[in-house]
Amino acid sequence: MYRPRSGNDEDADPDGRSRATGARPRTAATAGDPPLATRAFIEVIVAQLFFGFAYATFVLLPKLLAVDYGASARQIGAVMATFGVLSLAVSPAIGPLAARLGLRRTMAAGDLVLAASALGFMFMTHAGPFAALLRGLQGIAWALCFGAGMALCAEVAPPARLGQALGIFGAASLGMNAVAPVVAEPIAARYGARPVFALAAAAALIGARLCRRLPPDVAPPPTWHAEDPDATSWSAVRARLPVFTVLCVGALAAACMFTFVAPFALTRGVGVVRGFFAAYTAAALASRFALARFADRTGHRPVALAGGVGYGIAVIAMGALGPAHLVLVGALFGLSHGIVFPALMTLVLTGVSGTERPRLLGWANGAMNLGIVGMAPLGSIAGALGYPTVFIATGTVTLTTAAALLAPRRSASCASSTWRPARRR
């Protein structure tokens, strides 16, 4: 039986639908936490691991462009910027495309686009328009796999463990950000960039192949209703605007941190920043695995609020404390990221049918890429006023936005941690 994925056991069958459909009623034996590590869930995670490896290989792209192709900072910036631009542009089409192809095929399409881009880089001769186009294709690939993959993860996960499931799904990509560069960098140092591009293409093709084994889409029956009778209209998007706004500002904060931490450290005589990234990754992965069940049990809105405020505090701390405390700030930033991202994505996905989720995830992806594109003027501001000013201002905006938009309200809309299906009339 198709069940609304509310995460609230009391909402499982409030109006006797199980009797109407002949489904088994809940008993004490089924009242505990349902298992998460089902075959379908594991297959989704494994497929995402291969996409994540291929995608994370291109963390090295700026270095490869500079070392192997003699690209200038301006050329590298132009190439890398097309990722966010095309990913943002394609985001509104994710929902209709997933409805037409299905989640499995949409996710496989993302892998194939990423593989095509990686193979194209093997024929690149310089960091020009062709390289920018290939990087833009990776933005499209990310949007496809982000929307379809998370929607499919939400379909196969037990409702009561949705936040934990989304955290693990995101951790599959986050973990590859640490693994792929460790594997690819020595290959690039010894053999050049092209074998690295070939490795990324192979991983993406394996991911596309694995997508064929993923579970089929789950379609809600005609009798199912969301809490909001207009949940399949634009009201579902409007109701989530606070969450999308926090995602946008959070993406801006993350881009600010990752872009400016190294040059800021250099201005203070600190030449090694890997401690920041190592602490960030370790803390983010640890919090996603350790605290996701806590969010499922206590509510995703207050957890998202705490994570968003922590996000802002970490960015402010970078500007106030400086690069002398990179490990501490990186750990705080990673801890906050591991908390806030799964909670926000759960708020996006609760209260709607499976057919609406890819469209909402497309909006979420667009919001994050809009924040990344918003990074453009911060470089000039940093040059005029200094990096600490940019960090403190960005962190303050992040903290204030999260506190203003995620604070508990007397009446919650679909952006609450739980929701109730419409009562039978």
Same domain? 382 vs 243: yes
**Domain end position, chosen among 164, 184, 215:** 215
- Average of per-residue pLDDT across 245-250: 93
Q: Which of 342, 340, 318 is nearest to 169 (CA)?
A: 342
- Average of per-residue pLDDT across 298-313: 88
What's residue 219's pLDDT?
46
Percent of the chain whose pLDDT exceeds 90: 27
As a whole number of Å, the end-to-end CA separation of the chain is 20
Specify if 30 maps to a domain: no
Specify if 144 maps to a domain: yes
pLDDT digits (tens, 9 = 90+) for 77-92: 778 778 888 988 888 8
Same domain? 244 vs 310: yes
pLDDT digits (tens, 9 = 90+) for 102-137: 888 999 999 999 999 999 999 999 989 999 999 999
Same domain? 275 vs 305: yes
Number of structural domains (the chain) is: 2
Confidence of residue 422 (pLDDT cuts 50, 70, 90): very low
**Domain end position, chosen among 215, 236, 261:** 215
Specify if 20 maps to a domain: no
Specify if 420 maps to a domain: no
Specify if 175 maps to a domain: yes
Instruction: Tell whether the model's pLDDT for residue 3 goes beyond 90.
Output: no
What's residue 73's pLDDT?
65
Same domain? 307 vs 174: no
**Domain end position, chosen among 151, 180, 215:** 215
**Residue 169's CATH number:** 1.20.1250.20
What does the block give as tokens for 303?
Answer: 């957890």
Same domain? 231 vs 210: no
**Domain of 287?**
226-412
Same domain? 297 vs 361: yes
Matching residue, tokens 């920043």 = 273
Instruction: Tell whether the model's pLDDT for residue 423 goes beyond 50.
Output: no
Instruction: Tell whether the model's pLDDT for residue 409 goes beyond 50.
Output: yes
Instruction: Tell whether the model's pLDDT for residue 99 goes beyond 50.
Output: yes
Same domain? 230 vs 209: no
- Average of per-residue pLDDT across 257-270: 81
Same domain? 233 vs 198: no
- Average of per-residue pLDDT across 314-342: 90
Mean pLDDT score across all residues of the chain: 79
Confidence of residue 33 (pLDDT cuts 50, 70, 90): low
What's residue 417's pLDDT?
43
DSSP 93-162: GHHHHHHHH-HHHHHHHHHHHHHHHHHHHTT--SSSHHHHHHHHHHHHHHHHHHHHHHHHHHHHS-GGGH
CA distance 4 to 226: 8
Instruction: Tell whether the model's pLDDT for residue 424 goes beyond 80.
Output: no
What does the block give as tokens for 322?
Answer: 């400086």
Same domain? 123 vs 64: yes
What's residue 32's pLDDT?
59
Confidence of residue 374 (pLDDT cuts 50, 70, 90): confident
Same domain? 167 vs 260: no
Q: 233: alpha, beta or left, given left = phi > 0 and alpha = psi -120 to 50?
A: beta
Specify if 307 maps to a domain: yes
What's residue 2's pLDDT?
36
- Average of per-residue pLDDT across 181-196: 89
What does the block give as tokens for 293?
Answer: 């069940």
pLDDT digits (tens, 9 = 90+) for 210-226: 998 887 755 444 434 44
Instruction: Tell whether the model's pLDDT for residue 12 goes beyond 70.
Output: no
Confidence of residue 230 (pLDDT cuts 50, 70, 90): very low
Same domain? 199 vs 232: no
Highest mean pLDDT: which range of 53-62, 156-165, 344-353: 53-62
Same domain? 103 vs 199: yes
Instruction: Tell whether the model's pLDDT for residue 198 goes beyond 90.
Output: yes
More confident residue, 292 or 23: 292
